């Protein structure tokens, strides 16, 4: 299947789309480059007005857009509505804060560098390519597009091929808000064509959210052409529970952390590492709550877990669980493919894991939790840090010294204490190790695709 909407709830193809021709791709790159020149000449005030108007459109169309998202990738409808609302909120955030984030910064003692004045300023780079995934088909794009456009850049989107209707919606959103034609353009192309777009001299930088192999490929191409890249790749986030934690609250939050977005989130808690003193109590509570989840049609408001987005994703997840089962792991909940249409997988907990299991070595992208027992905090930290990923982490403890110890020693882009990881426009987001480099969101996110220019005046 090429570029198409395949409803994961039914497994049926609802719409197919012709890829853009090479001529159309070239025309869209040219349009984006031209828009970048025009945007560079506009004011923050003007761009903010356009961004706020686009956010208003999102809010007005939240219900229909949410249904489109659910049909294309399967998340429960309430979560789709929340995604639309969160995206509009981020657009308003950057409309209101971009100018301050990118304000000139004067050197306090210009005489120290032999100048009468010296300062730094942020300037846009131009057309920026975004290669985006299907799991948050609106939010992943908006959290790049809102800051990029507010900085004066234009955007080109290569979206995942299984969410083409979301991509087409985004193609016109900003123009409908008032931005110049071409300020944001969707490219309906396959992954094999990304290299040619990124190599084009009119494209100045790239951001990618996706798999590690995709990130390696894009980073390599960007390096060949000496272009800025920001990568947000996979995650296998630890969720550590220590003896002083509120076990009932930790278990309830662990369920939400694991099954949000049907478990298809890079920053979801995936590896639940529990101190031996509270392991049994946590395991019972966790398993009961996972087993009680309502799995079904994501358009039904009562549904808590919908299907995985693709058949291949569901099958790969099942293979990870079966590999662990074959090697001696215990299945505390789930571990089955429901007898129904669509790409469903039962919410699952796997315990008794050993390092030779694929589930330990690879990211589980779906409602499957890995449960570990740790004898002390040092062992909990070792398990947490043994993965090649380093996106985010969570620690449950009411011991302040212990909080500080984990905060300092966890190898991750973020640490959430007594909560679960979420992305917020006010906080920088990104990882270390094989989870990528660079940051999205907050002030750091808008500065990624700007030239930090030093100015010296005699």
The residues annotated as belonging to the active site are 232, 266
Query: Distances in Å between the alpha carbon of 150 and those of 31, 122, 123, 165, 452?
Result: 18, 12, 11, 25, 16
- From the list 46, 20, 86, 64, the residue with the least C-alpha distance to 183 is 46
The Cα–Cα gap between 160 and 440 comes to 19
| Ordered DSSP codes for 109-125 | -GGGGT-SEEEEEEEE-
- From the list 65, 19, 384, the residue with the least C-alpha distance to 238 is 384
What b/e readout covers 160-190, taking b as 16+ CB neighbours within 10 angstroms?
Answer: bbbbbbbbebbbebbbebebbebbbbbbbbe
- From the list 200, 196, 204, 192, the residue with the least C-alpha distance to 161 is 192
Pairing relation of β-strands 237-241 and 394-396?
parallel
φ, ψ of residue 386 in degrees (nearest 5) = -75, -15
Find how far residue 145's CA is from the centre of its chain.
13
Residue owning tokens 């087409």? 168
Beta bridge partners of 454: 120
| CA-CA-CA-CA dihedral for 82, 86, 92, 94, to nearest 10 | -170
Cα end-to-end span (Å), the chain: 62
| Ordered DSSP codes for 44-72 | HHHHHHHHHHHHHHHHHTHHHHHHHHHHH
The Cα–Cα gap between 381 and 339 comes to 39
Find how far residue 45's CA is from the centre of its chain.
29
């Amino acid at each position: 299947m090429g570029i198409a909407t395949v409803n994961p709830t039914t497994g049926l193809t609802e719409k197919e789309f012709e890829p853009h021709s090479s001529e159309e791709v070239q025309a869209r790159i040219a349009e984006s480059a031209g828009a970048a020149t025009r945007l560079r000449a506009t004011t923050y005030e003007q761009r903010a007005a356009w961004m706020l108007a686009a956010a208003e459109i999102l809010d007005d169309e939240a219900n229909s857009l949410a249904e489109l998202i659910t049909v294309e990738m399967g998340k429960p409808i309430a979560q789709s509505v929340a995604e639309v609302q969160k995206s509009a909120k981020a657009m308003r955030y950057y409309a209101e804060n971009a100018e301050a984030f990118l304000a000139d910064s004067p050197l306090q003692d210009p005489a120290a560098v032999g100048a009468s004045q010296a300062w730094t300023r942020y300037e846009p780079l131009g057309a920026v390519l975004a290669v985006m995934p299907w799991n948050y088909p609106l939010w992943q794009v908006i959290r790049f597009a809102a800051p990029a456009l507010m900085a004066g850049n234009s955007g080109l989107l290569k979206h995942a091929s299984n969410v083409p209707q979301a991509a087409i919606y985004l193609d016109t959103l900003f123009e409908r808000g008032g931005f110049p034609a071409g300020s944001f353009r969707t490219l309906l192309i396959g992954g094999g064509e990304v290299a040619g777009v990124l190599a084009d001299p009119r494209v100045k930088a790239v951001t990618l959210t996706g798999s590690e192999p995709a990130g390696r490929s894009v980073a390599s191409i960007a390096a060949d052409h000496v272009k800025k890249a920001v990568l947000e790749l996979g995650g296998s986030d630890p969720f550590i529970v220590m003896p002083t934690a509120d076990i009932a609250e930790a278990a309830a939050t662990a369920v939400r952390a694991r099954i949000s977005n049907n478990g298809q989130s890079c920053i979801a808690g995936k590896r639940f590492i529990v101190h031996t003193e509270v392991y049994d109590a946590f395991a019972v509570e966790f398993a009961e709550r996972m087993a009680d989840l309502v799995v079904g049609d994501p358009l039904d408001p009562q549904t808590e877990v919908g299907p995985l987005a693709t058949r291949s994703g569901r099958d790969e997840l099942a293979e990870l669980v079966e590999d662990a089962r074959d090697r001696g792991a215990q299945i505390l909940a789930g571990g089955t493919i429901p007898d129904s249409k669509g790409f469903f997988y039962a919410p699952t907990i796997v315990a008794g894991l050993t390092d030779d299991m694929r589930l330990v070595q690879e990211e589980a992208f779906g409602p499957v939790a890995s449960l570990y027992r740790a004898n002390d905090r040092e062992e909990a930290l070792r398990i947490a840090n043994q993965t090649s990923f380093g996106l985010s982490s969570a620690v449950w403890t009411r011991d302040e010294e212990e909080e500080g110890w984990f905060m300092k020693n966890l190898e991750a882009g973020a640490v959430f204490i007594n909560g679960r990881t979420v992305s917020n426009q006010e906080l920088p987001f990104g990882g270390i190790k094989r989870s990528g480099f660079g940051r999205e969101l907050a002030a750091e996110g808008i500065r990624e695709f700007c030239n930090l220019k030093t100015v010296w005046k005699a």
